[in-house]
Structure 1
Amino acid sequence: MTFDQLCAFHAVATRGTFAAAAKALHKSQPAITKLVQNLESELDVVLFDRAAYRATLTDAGRRFLERAAQVVADTESLTTYGRALGRGAEPQVRLVIEAITPLRPVLAALSRVRAAFPLVRLELRTERLAGTVETLTNGSADLVIANAEALERRKMQAMHFARVRIVPVVRRDHPLAQAGSPAPLAALREHPQVVLTDSARVEPAPPINVVEGGLRWTVTDVTAKLQIIEAGLGWGGLPEHVVRAGIRKGTLAALSVHQFETEVIELVTLRHKERAQGPVARALWDELGARPGRTSRSAEAPGTKRG
């Protein structure tokens, strides 16, 4: 029994006719017929009932297909893996992204890389502020998407990825939503500002868009921050792509906060200049730069300051 015989049998069984199997395998129909006949002869079993136009599996053929399909799939997977090894593909790529990163363009890039390297493992995780770049400097990431302000440019190669607008928001019925525009500093200080903490272990970055002298609630991810704000327990700045739907539905209100100094955050893809990378990491770098993100349009009225 040969792998070609198994492939021919599997193709006929799954496509219904010898002609369709021949087309799928780029062989002549007589060649497919001969392969299946030889397989039946070697096994001394009839796998197909050929009385009808379509090749119908016998009971023995159906049972044999269960095992044969797995062998064909495993062999094709092993072939793909071997070819990847031949290209020097690394077994795993580690991508770390800033918590405010829009995922859609990241997933599009990962999809294209997976098509070329289907067996490579991916480790994708989020960090915050300086903690994102720290994973690259300490060697726990191969590529990162980080705030451009957090760079150590002497050792990093940077490539623009996206610009993310930060919109200060509050639940529609929160007192701050009726406090006026711009929101008075005293009112902002009176209510909890929900803030993402820096995940850096060594050297945290200075806080961004934090009102001095106010009450702070700290969280470690964007989802928790959004849910706290949606519950009416505080206010804070979030990526526009995260709050756009809530503003449109009227469940969230955008605030004008003059104390916010950063309206748009530039995100960049980074890799370490002094570390060699395998073909998968290089391919992911290229794909992340192939279709850079764009600054999203404002979900607020013109002239409203974001943070």
Structure 2
Amino acid sequence: MELANLAAFLAVADAGGFSAAAAALHLTQPAVSKRIAQLESELDARLFDRVGRQVLLTEAGQLLLPRARQLLGDANDARRALRELEHGIGGSLRMICSHHIGLHRLPPVLRKFSARYPQVALELRFMDSEQAWHEVLHARAELALTTLGPATPPLQARVIWDDPLCFVAAPTHPLALRKKLGLSDLAAHPAVLPEPQTFTHRIVAAAFQQRALALQLRMTSNFMETLKMLASVGLAWSVLPQSMLDKSVRVLPVAGVRLSRQLGCISHRGRTPSKAAQAFVQLLHQHAA
């Protein structure tokens, strides 16, 4: 249904006549009559009865009246929201974040974003990086903050943080007592790492595969905090982001190997970014800088 025809219908119903409706809409009476005729033809129902000088709603017209008000009200709300969007940042932002970024990178950015753009309704979910990519791919989220892997169209990746990785073990672990190590030494001991399908596991596994070495996986977890705990109690060696190091673990002096991953933002190339998403990404870059 054309909104202009619905507006003419409401004007006639409220004014009680075609002439008064035409004056209210700044149209000619024939133009209003034409719009009503088009609406009646589209709906295949008579909307007004002309009884003498009176114009009365038919049963179909009475049924349409509240729905027409709702439709035009929704249209006006949409126009107002779009006008407000031109002058400010509002609306909603659906975003996914990996647990590690959520705990160690996101809080200051989220605090600043919420204070600066209180009109934005933020929907934030936490999940593994690989799942987050899938959600963005299928348009169930606008942004994802994750560990970055190879991005293929239609997804695009923006690097926000470099995240150096360190081999670690408990201070009492046999490997931690050595002054110099190679990957072959680590291969002789069990490890606790993220699950094999994760980007972080692939980074570690690639270093061992290049040297024809096999990993001994004792346990897997996609939560870095869990890996840190398992390593700190001497269960196995692990790999942790440099930002998570403390006295509970010791960095293993592995010669000739430097591991790093990139953390950043994933979006869909085919989707026009909302102003809220653009503002959030801008804050991410400012914070990283």
Q: TM-score range by the shorter chain?
A: 0.5 to 0.7
Tell me the equivalent position of 1:255. Answer: 252
Q: How many residues align?
A: 199
- Structure 2 CA distance for partners of 1:233 and 1:105, relative to 1, 3 Å: closer
SS of residue matched to 2:288: coil
Query: Do the aligned residues in 2 keep the contact of 1:159 with 1:269 (CA within 8 Å)?
Result: yes
**Counterparts of 1:242 and 1:205, CA distance in 2:** 15
- Structure 2 matches for 1:13-92, cutoff 5 A? 86-87=84-85, 89-92=90-93
**Counterparts of 1:134 and 1:150, CA distance in 2:** 13
Structure 1 residue aligned with 2:204, among 206, 209, 216? 209
Alpha-carbon distance, 1:159 to partner: 2.7
Query: Do the aligned residues in 2 keep the contact of 1:159 with 1:289 (CA within 8 Å)?
Result: no
- Structure 2 CA distance for partners of 1:94 and 1:84, relative to 1, 3 Å: farther
**Counterparts of 2:262 and 2:183, CA distance in 1:** 28
Tell me the equivalent position of 1:166. Answer: 165
**Counterparts of 2:142 and 2:150, CA distance in 1:** 17
For 1:240, give the aligned amino acid.
Q
Is it true that 1:181 corresponds to 2:180 in the alignment?
yes
**Counterparts of 2:81 and 2:272, CA distance in 1:** 21
Alpha-carbon distance, 1:207 to partner: 1.7
- Structure 2 CA distance for partners of 1:194 and 1:288, relative to 1, 3 Å: same
Alpha-carbon distance, 1:140 to partner: 3.0
Q: Deviations over 1:202-237 (max 9, x none)?
A: xx8972213442320211211110110111101111
**Counterparts of 2:241 and 2:193, CA distance in 1:** 13
Tell me the equivalent position of 2:109. Answer: 109
**Counterparts of 2:177 and 2:124, CA distance in 1:** 44
State which structure, 1 or 2, has the greater radius of gyration over its C-alpha atoms.
2
- Structure 2 CA distance for partners of 1:104 and 1:221, relative to 1, 3 Å: closer
**Counterparts of 2:283 and 2:107, CA distance in 1:** 10
**Counterparts of 2:151 and 2:190, CA distance in 1:** 30
Q: Deviations over 1:48-88 (max 9, x none)?
A: xxxxxxxxxxxxxxxxxxxxxxxxxxxxxxxxxx9899438
Alpha-carbon distance, 1:137 to partner: 1.4
SS of residue matched to 1:234: coil
Alpha-carbon distance, 1:278 to partner: 2.7
Is it true that 1:232 corresponds to 2:229 in the alignment?
no
Is it true that 1:265 corresponds to 2:261 in the alignment?
yes
Query: Do the aligned residues in 1 keep the contact of 2:143 with 2:277 (CA within 8 Å)?
Result: yes
**Counterparts of 1:206 and 1:177, CA distance in 2:** 22
SS of residue matched to 1:207: helix
**Counterparts of 2:91 and 2:97, CA distance in 1:** 17
- Structure 2 CA distance for partners of 1:85 and 1:116, relative to 1, 3 Å: farther
Is it true that 1:122 corresponds to 2:97 in the alignment?
no
Q: Deviations over 1:81-138 (max 9, x none)?
A: x9899438333421323x543755422221222123325133141414x444333213
**Counterparts of 1:145 and 1:123, CA distance in 2:** 11
* Percent of aligned pairs with the same amino acid: 16
**Counterparts of 2:115 and 2:138, CA distance in 1:** 30
Tell me the equivalent position of 1:287. Answer: 283
**Counterparts of 1:277 and 1:135, CA distance in 2:** 16
Query: Do the aligned residues in 1 keep the contact of 2:194 with 2:200 (CA within 8 Å)?
Result: no
Tell me the equivalent position of 1:242. Answer: 244
When normalised by structure 2's length, the TM-score is 0.59
**Counterparts of 1:157 and 1:291, CA distance in 2:** 21
When the two chains are superposed, the root-mean-square deviation of aligned CA atoms in Å is 3.1
**Counterparts of 1:222 and 1:205, CA distance in 2:** 10
For 2:228, give the aligned amino acid.
L
- Structure 2 CA distance for partners of 1:105 and 1:180, relative to 1, 3 Å: closer
Tell me the equivalent position of 1:218. Answer: 220
SS of residue matched to 1:149: coil
Q: Return 5+ residue gaps in structure 2 as ranges.
A: 1-79
- Structure 2 CA distance for partners of 1:132 and 1:192, relative to 1, 3 Å: farther
**Counterparts of 2:90 and 2:154, CA distance in 1:** 24
- Structure 2 CA distance for partners of 1:198 and 1:111, relative to 1, 3 Å: farther
Query: Do the aligned residues in 1 keep the contact of 2:163 with 2:241 (CA within 8 Å)?
Result: yes
- Structure 2 CA distance for partners of 1:85 and 1:235, relative to 1, 3 Å: farther
The structure that is helix-richer by fraction is 2
For 2:254, give the aligned amino acid.
V
**Runs of 4+, deviation exceeding 6 Å:** 82-85
Q: Return 5+ residue gaps in structure 1 as ranges.
A: 1-81, 294-307
- Structure 2 CA distance for partners of 1:268 and 1:127, relative to 1, 3 Å: same
